[in-house]
């Protein structure tokens, strides 16, 4: 009897050893004379040759520990030329020259095993549902797949594709960067309810090698929180003006406040605290009247309006001392005037956001930093450096191509946005926060140095404004009237308190 076994490497194993120890046991009734070994690249089907290249099948001799014995260990070191999927073949010959009827064969891979990690949720974090589970996966030969499993930590059962719980079951995550050494993965999941859960994850590489140590991340899902909405006025502009006088058809902030109050709504307004006057409305460029401290106090006391801080220009162009004065340094003076909720939001001027300033300065005293976007901030998405999204809603050229106003040239090529879209934006869902920002409101028809508009058409498609920051008050209030009953209208500080983001 002649037989050969391969014990190293183990079948289907992955190793990074250099050289790779190949070895096993040889048995021959007539005595073991030699063991011959061959190594194959399983992808190319070529064989390792003595000159260090790949080509036709070739064997090389192993070291036999006890030549002539009926049973002997054998071994041979082999240096892999690089990461890959390989196989070792071995056969024994006895002292009579006879050989194995069947050569031994073992598959293995060389290179680091893949490794997967979870990046969200954080360990033992409490999140809202639906939640997008995310993570990374790395491998020296390329990540081909990521598989996850979700466990109910109370029942110890596992999530099934049909939305039930049962035996351990893996689910395929979506991989970005498949086939590359460094990839990311995502898996959106809607929890069946509040509870304690865990996600288990493993990566698979291009050669089918599986992550030997699955990552495991416990987390909790909270009961759904309220849908939150902030009606923001980008700047404390009292109203559209002609040559520093409120224009005919301009709707001042106190009337907006009264209209909202009649509907049980409030708003938050951006204020440049370093340029606001006590009792005088400062004029800017003839078209903008900046509300005074007296105006802001009246809006707060009569209608419950709050303010958020807006720097007087891009922070990145200021000295460190100026940056402090326009951000954290402004809060004590605002609080002294009774505006003690301004810490909820720092509105970067003209969206000149700066990640370093936000991280090192703004986030230490303000709950959020404003960044323009779709206006939707999710509770799951809140984390350093604590940006929130604000949707700026604009006027512009009309939407009826049969009218002359359709070709109106407005800065930024703006076209008047529909009240239907505004109403849709004012309807956030549970555990999300929508911030919609407008500037100055108008009605009727007017043309003057500070701007022109026409809000008289019964069809909003005929409405237009010559400046993007002007919007017809009737369309705004039409959308406000359609805010769903379950939506909570609050300011940034209110959101911060509800979500536990108090700097």
Q: Give per-residue pLDDT as tens, 164-173.
A: 999 999 999 9
Of the candidate ranges 14-18, 148-152, 384-388, the one whose mean pLDDT is the lowest = 14-18
Looking from the CA of 83 toward its CB, the CA atoms found within 13 Å total: 15
Helix 473-480 to helix 253-262 angle (10° resolution) is: 30
Candidates 433, 376, 348; CA nearest to 356 is 348
Domains of the chain by start residue, with CATH = 2-110 (2.60.40.650), 115-221 (2.60.40.650), 227-394+417-443+466-498 (3.20.20.370)
Question: What SS3 class is residue 387?
Answer: strand
Dist CA 494 CA 477 (whole Å): 23
Rounded to 10 degrees, what is the CA torsion of 469, 473, 476, 480?
A: 140
Instruction: Give me the mean pLDDT over the 27-46 stretch.
Output: 96
Dist CA 59 CA 88 (whole Å): 10
Q: Cβ neighbours of residue 401 under 8 Å, at least 6 residues apart?
A: none
Output the pLDDT for position 24: 97
Output the pLDDT for position 111: 82
Average pLDDT, the chain: 95
The DSSP H or E segment spanning 492 is helix 492-498
| pLDDT surpasses 90 at 278 | yes
| DSSP code, position 141 | S
pTM of this structure: 0.77
Residue pLDDT, tens place only, 432-488:
999 999 999 999 999 999 899 999 999 999 999 999 999 999 999 999 999 999 999
Output the pLDDT for position 287: 78
Dist CA 278 CA 292 (whole Å): 6
Tokens of 205: 């590489």
Q: Cβ neighbours of residue 245 under 8 Å, at least 6 residues apart?
A: none
Dist CA 38 CA 343 (whole Å): 71
Provide the pairing of β-strand 215-221 with 126-127: parallel
Output the pLDDT for position 468: 96
Alpha helices in 393-449 (DSSP H): 419-425
Instruction: Give me the mean pLDDT over the 374-379 stretch.
Output: 96
Backbone phi, psi, residue 36, to 5°:
-110, 135
| DSSP code, position 379 | S
Dist CA 123 CA 369 (whole Å): 26
| DSSP code, position 315 | G
> What percent of the chain stands above pLDDT 70?
100
The confidence band for 327, taking pLDDT boundaries of 50, 70 and 90, is very high
């Amino acid at each position: 009897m002649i037989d050969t076994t391969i014990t190293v490497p183990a079948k289907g194993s992955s190793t990074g050893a250099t050289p790779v120890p190949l070895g096993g046991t040889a048995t021959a009734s007539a005595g073991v004379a030699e063991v011959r070994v061959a190594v194959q690249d399983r992808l190319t089907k070529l064989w390792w040759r003595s000159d260090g290249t790949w080509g036709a099948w070739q064997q090389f001799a192993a070291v036999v520990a006890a030549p002539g014995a009926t049973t002997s260990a054998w071994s041979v070191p082999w240096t892999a030329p690089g990461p890959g999927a390989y196989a070792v073949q071995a056969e024994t010959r006895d002292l009579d020259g006879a050989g194995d009827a069947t050569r031994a064969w073992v598959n293995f891979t060389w290179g680091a095993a893949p490794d997967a990690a979870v990046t969200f949720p954080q360990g033992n974090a409490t999140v809202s549902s639906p939640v997008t589970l995310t993570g990374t996966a790395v491998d020296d030969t390329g990540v081909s797949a990521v598989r996850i499993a979700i466990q109910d930590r109370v029942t110890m059962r596992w999530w099934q594709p049909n939305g039930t719980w049962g035996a351990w079951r893996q689910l395929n995550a979506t991989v970005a960067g498949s086939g590359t050494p460094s990839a990311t993965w995502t898996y959106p999941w809607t929890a069946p309810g509040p509870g304690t859960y865990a996600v288990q994850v493993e990566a698979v590489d291009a050669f089918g090698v599986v992550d030997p140590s699955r990552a495991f991340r416990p987390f909790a899902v909270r009961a759904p929180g309220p849908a939150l909405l902030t009606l923001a006025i980008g700047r404390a502009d009292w109203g559209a003006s002609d040559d520093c006088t409120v224009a005919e058809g301009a709707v001042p902030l106190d009337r907006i406040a009264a209209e909202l109050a009649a509907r049980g709504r409030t708003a938050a307004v951006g204020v440049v605290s370093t340029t606001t006057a006590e009792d005088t409305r400062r004029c800017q460029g003839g078209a903008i009247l900046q509300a005074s401290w007296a105006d802001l106090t009246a809006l707060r006391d009569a209608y419950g309006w709050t303010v958020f801080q807006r720097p007087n220009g891009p922070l990145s162009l200021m000295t460190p001392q100026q940056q402090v004065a326009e951000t954290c340094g402004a809060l004590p003076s605002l609080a002294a005037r009774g505006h003690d909720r301004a810490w909820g939001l720092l509105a970067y001027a003209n969206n000149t956001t700066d990640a370093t300033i936000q991280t090192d300065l703004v986030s230490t005293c303000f709950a959020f930093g404003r960044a323009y976007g779709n206006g939707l901030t999710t509770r799951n998405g809140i984390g350093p450096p604590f940006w929130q999204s604000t949707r700026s809603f604009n006027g512009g050229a009309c939407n009826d191509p049969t009218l002359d106003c359709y070709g109106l040239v407005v800065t930024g090529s703006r076209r008047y946005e529909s009240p239907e879209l505004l109403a849709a934006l004012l309807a956030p869902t549970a555990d999300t926060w929508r911030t919609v920002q407008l500037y100055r409101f108008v009605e009727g028809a007017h043309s003057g140095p500070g701007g022109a508009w026409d809000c008289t058409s019964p069809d909003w498609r005929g409405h237009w404004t010559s400046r993007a920051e002007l919007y017809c008050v009737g369309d705004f209030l039409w959308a406000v009237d359609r805010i769903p009953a379950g939506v909570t209208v609050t300011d940034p500080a209110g959101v911060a308190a509800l979500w536990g983001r108090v700097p």
